[in-house]
Amino acid sequence: MRRLIGSWAMLVPLMGLAVLTGPAAARDWSDYANARFGYRICYPADLMTAQPEADNGDGRVFSAPSGASLRVWGSYNAAEEDIDAIVAGVADDGKITYRSATKDWVVVSGRKGGETFYAKLLLEKDAKGTIETIRAFRLTYPAKEAAIYDAVAARLAKCFAVAR
């Protein structure tokens, strides 16, 4: 019995360490709010560095030394594209392997080369149902870093919102 208790006494701290260093570990999260398009998103400040906001004020890029990047932006749908055309543009010729949508948002993920991408689009429509404004983010990361960035994508999807 003592031997069993001793084994557990050694194992419990190691289990705690695994939890603290795993992909779901608490990260140093910061927030970015975009005044022009009225959205907000959190980002992992310990993994990614915020680049200056775009000159036109539509968004910003956050980059990581590993090559991962988070792009957030807003745009008006001046070309009156339908949702499939908008999603194809966000996928940037990547192979979409997952898609989910409601009337207010679309999520896609997939692969392009050795990278994985995850994107979420928040849609603002007029009374006729035509998409007027798009607020979006796209997280791209090396597929070999999925253990880290899959958890980041899940958090981004939850914290990305219209800020009104």
DSSP 57: S
Task: Answer yes or no: is 95 within a domain.
Answer: yes
Task: Answer yes or no: is 17 within a domain.
Answer: no
| pTM above threshold 0.85 | no
Phi then psi for residue 7, to 5 deg, are: -65, -45
Helical residues (DSSP H) of the chain, grouped into ranges? 2-21, 83-91, 146-159
Task: Answer yes or no: is 63 within a domain.
Answer: yes
102-157 pLDDT, tens digit per residue, is 999 999 999 999 999 999 999 999 999 999 999 999 999 999 999 999 999 999 99
Q: Is the dihedral of CA 156, 136, 60, 142 positive or negative?
A: positive
Write out the residue range of the structural domain in which residue 110 sits: 28-162
Task: Answer yes or no: is 12 within a domain.
Answer: no
Write the CATH number for 128. Answer: 3.40.1000.10
Task: Answer yes or no: is 79 within a domain.
Answer: yes
Task: Answer yes or no: is 46 within a domain.
Answer: yes
Least confident among 10-14, 65-69, 74-78, 91-95: 10-14
Instruction: Give the pLDDT of residue 27.
Output: 81
Task: Answer yes or no: is 18 within a domain.
Answer: no
Task: Answer yes or no: is 110 within a domain.
Answer: yes
User: Where do the DSSP E strands lie in the chain?
Assistant: 29-34, 39-44, 49-50, 59-63, 69-76, 95-101, 105-112, 115-125, 131-142, 161-162
The structural domain count of the chain equals 1
